[in-house]
């Protein structure tokens, strides 16, 4: 076994890096990407310095793996910025503040409005059909409404 470790060449590192990058394509979620890049870097260093001992190669591989992963993680954390469309996946948030006519009366705190081509479940004070209401809040798919004067 020690004999095979002493015979490591740049081809071994490049093959290992390629294998890790291929496995990353199948959905590792970014974990194998930076380890594969580190293996490829060690392969390039081994090509440039063919007499590099195997122990140094493994130490370089470990250090480069950790370094590339930490640098990418830090970059991702600093690059995160708030969305310019905060309500993108909050269906119904665009209805807040708008006025509608009750489609079904609010009875025992529940009723329905028609917004566009959709019916929305609403909660609020008991009101008859045809009353004008304003959407004042949202709790999941339930819109909270109040009567308009």
25-56 pLDDT per residue, tens: 887 777 888 899 999 999 999 999 988 888 89
The three-state secondary structure class of 37 is helix
H or E stretch at 18:
helix 10-25
Residue 120 has what DSSP assignment? E
**Of residues 107, 134, 104, 132, the one with CA closest to residue 119:** 104
72-94 per-position pLDDT tens digit: 888 888 877 777 776 666 777 88
Q: Which residue pairs from 109-112 have beta carbons closer than 8 angstroms and sit at least 24 positions apart in sequence?
A: none
pLDDT at 32: 87
Q: Which of 131, 34, 40, 19 is nearest to 74 (CA)?
A: 34
Q: What is the pLDDT of residue 86?
A: 67
The domains of the chain, with CATH numbers, are 2-79 (no CATH), 93-147 (2.40.50.140)
Using DSSP's 3-state secondary structure scheme, residue 72 falls into helix
Q: What is the pTM of this model?
A: 0.53
């Amino acid at each position: 076994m020690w004999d095979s470790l002493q015979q490591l060449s740049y081809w071994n590192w490049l093959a290992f890096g390629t294998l890790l990058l291929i496995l990353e394509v199948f959905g590792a979620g970014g974990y194998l990407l930076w380890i594969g890049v580190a293996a490829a870097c060690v392969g390039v260093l081994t090509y440039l310095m063919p007499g590099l001992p195997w122990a140094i190669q493994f130490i370089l591989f470990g250090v480069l793996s950790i370094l590339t992963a930490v640098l990418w993680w830090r970059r991702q954390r600093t690059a995160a910025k708030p969305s310019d469309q905060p309500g993108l996946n909050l269906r119904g948030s665009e209805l807040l503040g708008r006025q509608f006519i009750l489609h079904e009366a609010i009875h025992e705190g529940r009723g329905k409005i028609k917004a566009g081509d959709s019916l929305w479940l609403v909660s609020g004070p008991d009101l008859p059909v045809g009353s004008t209401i304003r959407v004042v809040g949202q709790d999941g798919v339930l819109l909270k409404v109040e009567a308009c004067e």
